[in-house]
Amino acid sequence: MLSRPFFTIHEIAELLKVSEATVRSWVHDGELRAARFGREFRVAAKDLEAFVDAHVMQPSPEQKD
């Protein structure tokens, strides 16, 4: 589990090595769940994990038959 409860758009962009515009697009398109606090978005660690898990290209070893 990730150690921080919430991440900023900037932090997610750095973690995933994508642009902040890409992360904002995911949020605005509803792909990445986020909460808005004032003018800023925050993403819960569990929502970031779910987003990453949903975008994994290969099944985990437990899922292979």
Please answer whether residues 52 and 61 qualify as being in contact, where contact means their C-beta atoms are separated by less than 8 angstroms.
Answer: no
Is the per-residue pLDDT at 64 higher than 90? no
Q: Is the pLDDT of residue 65 over 70?
A: no
* Tokens 């642009």 found at: 19
pLDDT surpassing 60 at residue 5: yes
Question: Distance (Å, rounded) from C-alpha 6 to C-alpha 45?
Answer: 6
Q: Does domain 6-57 have CATH number 3.40.50?
A: no
Instruction: Place 3 in a pLDDT band, splitting at 50, 70 and 90.
Output: low
Residue type, 55: H
- Domain ranges in the chain are 6-57
Residue 60 has pLDDT above 90, yes or no: no
